[in-house]
């Protein structure tokens, strides 16, 4: 029997506020255990939560970026469950009135031209729980509790079950992460736990409109893990149905060492959490004017920026996709372009030379040594014909180890393109005499042979001869390429 895969994702993104969502405790990653806690984080009697306005604003920004409807009259609820890293015995979350409802996330699967989209159910605000650290020594059956993360502001982005493959889930997550980073509400660092994903997976016979039994895979901390866990779970469910077996709705964990999903517990339903409005937090009432002010603060989003790069700047779609993958990269490119004035040449230098080093050294573009203005100046020298592309790479290497601007380097090293017609003609004549075989091939109709002669000229001139002038002189001396046949 053929089966259809049904996937919905619940993504928890940590908001990058300075303090926690309901207290003034700092929320910096990597601090000493239990050093960033307050009476609210510890759930001490008499402590009262106060909503962090910045967390609310950033949640609304996320909803607006994804096209969600903003709930003007919202509230917070208590989600009751007991776990060692949750001192209060409940989590403050949102149940029936989430801050954002609806919306869409658009993405393109690799190898396809037409974008797809997944509908969102909701985005709501909640606080994070703490963290348990289990002893690595099996002889010491102890666990330790670090409450630094308790109370950190989260938004949970819940999708409709619209995805039909692990590939769709993967590219959906890439698009989601890109938007959140563009609007700077979260750093989305999965290694630090600021972006986590739960995958709800089921299968059903093709053509059926009924959902199969759903399995939730919790706390997937990499996009690779999401894809692998979904693929494994789909095969496991297919095997179960093929054998005529059934299984209960349940929660599983992903074992990355064994590449299997493992049952954790049977799945809770919403009534199991005994939601009720938090009596310590008043309702939040927003005005349309407040929401519109937040909307106006949003930057240009990645899809719109990519389309502008293609339509207004004339870049190939691939270039535009690379340059707009991260907001900082797009900003770097546009700053360089303001100086260079040449969109395509600047694109080539940023995506090939700059990003080549950024990726090789595993750094961010903000950590890259050469400013966009200096890169723009280098590209302008090339675009204006003052230096060749080959010399440009020599100048670039020098720029990596110095703060000098490219013009200074070119002057100090005497790298300006030679336009002395007599000197270039002398080298061209020498190149023709030294490359008789290439000359004969060219005269027999092989246009690539001209490249060997040009290469000789550039080598002798140490890359300083004007390439356009060299090509013109060669054509004048050798004549146009004979027609083939």
- Sequence-distant (6+) residues with CB within 8 A of 484 are 445
- β-pair partners for 7: 163, 201
pLDDT digits (tens, 9 = 90+) for 46-84: 999 999 999 999 999 999 999 999 999 999 999 998 888
Please, where in the chain does CATH 1.10.10.410 lie?
A: 421-478
More confident residue, 163 or 190: 163
pLDDT score of 190: 85
- β-pair partners for 118: 105
pLDDT score of 92: 97
Alpha carbon 463 to chain centroid, angstroms? 38
* Among the listed residues 343, 44, 341, the one whose alpha carbon sits nearest the alpha carbon of residue 330: 343
* Among the listed residues 56, 125, 66, 69, the one whose alpha carbon sits nearest the alpha carbon of residue 101: 69
Mean pLDDT (whole number) for 355-375: 95
Separation CA 281–CA 77 (nearest Å)? 9
Separation CA 88–CA 248 (nearest Å)? 30
The percent of residues in the chain predicted with pLDDT above 90, rounded, is: 71
- Single pTM value for the model: 0.84
In the predicted model, is pLDDT for residue 485 greater than 60? no
pLDDT digits (tens, 9 = 90+) for 98-155: 999 999 999 999 888 899 999 999 999 999 999 999 888 888 889 999 999 999 999 9
Separation CA 279–CA 282 (nearest Å)? 7
Separation CA 158–CA 8 (nearest Å)? 8
Q: What is the DSSP secondary structure assignment for residue 373, as one 8-state letter? A: H
**Helices marked H in 4-127:** 39-42, 53-65
In the predicted model, is pLDDT for residue 469 greater than 60? yes
pLDDT digits (tens, 9 = 90+) for 147-186: 999 999 999 999 999 999 999 999 999 999 999 999 999 9
pLDDT score of 152: 96
Among the ranges given (62-76, 206-220, 229-243, 448-462), the one the predictor scored with the smallest mean pLDDT: 448-462
pLDDT score of 6: 97
The enclosing H or E element of 301 equals none
Query: So what CATH class is 421-478?
Result: mainly alpha
More confident residue, 355 or 433: 355
What would the two tokens of residue 67 be? 């096209």
């Amino acid at each position: 029997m053929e089966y259809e895969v049904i996937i919905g994702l619940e993504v928890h993104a940590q908001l990058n506020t300075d303090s926690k969502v309901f207290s003034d405790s700092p929320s910096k990653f990597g601090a000493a255990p239990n050093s960033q806690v307050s009476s609210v984080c510890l759930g001490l009697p008499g402590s009262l939560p106060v909503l962090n306005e910045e967390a609310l604003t950033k949640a609304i920004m996320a909803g607006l970026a994804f096209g969600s409807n903003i709930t003007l009259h919202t509230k917070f609820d208590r989600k009751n469950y007991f776990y060692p890293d949750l001192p209060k015995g409940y989590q403050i979350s949102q149940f029936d009135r989430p801050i954002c409802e609806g919306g869409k996330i658009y993405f393109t699967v690799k190898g396809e031209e037409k974008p797809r989209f997944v509908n969102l159910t909701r985005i709501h605000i909640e606080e994070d729980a703490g963290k348990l650290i289990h002893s690595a020594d099996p002889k010491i059956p102890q666990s330790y509790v670090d409450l630094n993360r308790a109370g950190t502001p989260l938004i949970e982005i819940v999708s409709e079950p619209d995805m039909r493959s692990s590939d769709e889930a993967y590219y959906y997550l890439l698009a989601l992460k890109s938007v959140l980073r563009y609007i700077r509400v979260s750093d989305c660092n999965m290694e630090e736990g600021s972006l986590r994903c739960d995958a709800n997976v089921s299968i059903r016979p093709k053509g059926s409109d009924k959902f199969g039994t759903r399995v939730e895979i919790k706390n997937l901390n990499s996009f690779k893990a999401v894809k692998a866990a979904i693929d494994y779970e789909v095969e496991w469910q297919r095997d179960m149905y093929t054998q005529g077996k059934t299984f209960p709705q349940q929660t599983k964990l992903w074992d990355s060492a064994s590449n299997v999903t493992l049952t954790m517990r049977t799945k809770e339903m919403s009534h199991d959490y005994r939601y009720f409005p938090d009596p310590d937090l008043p309702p939040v009432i927003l005005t349309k004017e407040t929401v519109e002010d937040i909307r106006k603060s949003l930057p240009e989003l990645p899809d719109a920026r990519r389309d502008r790069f293609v339509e207004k700047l004339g870049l190939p779609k691939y270039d535009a996709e690379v340059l707009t993958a991260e907001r900082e990269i797009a900003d770097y490119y546009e700053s360089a372009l303001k100086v260079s004035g040449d969109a395509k040449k600047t694109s080539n230098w940023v995506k090939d030379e700059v990003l080549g080093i950024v990726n090789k050294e595993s750094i961010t573009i903000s950590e890259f040594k050469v400013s966009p203005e200096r890169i723009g100046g280098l590209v302008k020298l090339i675009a204006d014909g003052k230096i060749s592309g080959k010399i440009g790479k020599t100048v670039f290497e020098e720029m990596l180890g110095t703060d000098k601007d490219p013009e200074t380097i070119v002057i100090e090293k005497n790298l300006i393109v030679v336009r002395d017609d007599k000197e270039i003609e002398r080298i061209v004549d020498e190149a023709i005499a030294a490359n008789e075989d290439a000359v004969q091939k060219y005269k027999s109709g092989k246009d690539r042979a001209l490249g060997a002669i040009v290469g000789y000229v550039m080598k002798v001139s140490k890359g300083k001869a004007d390439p356009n002038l060299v090509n013109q002189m060669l054509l004048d001396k050798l004549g146009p390429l004979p027609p083939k046949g």
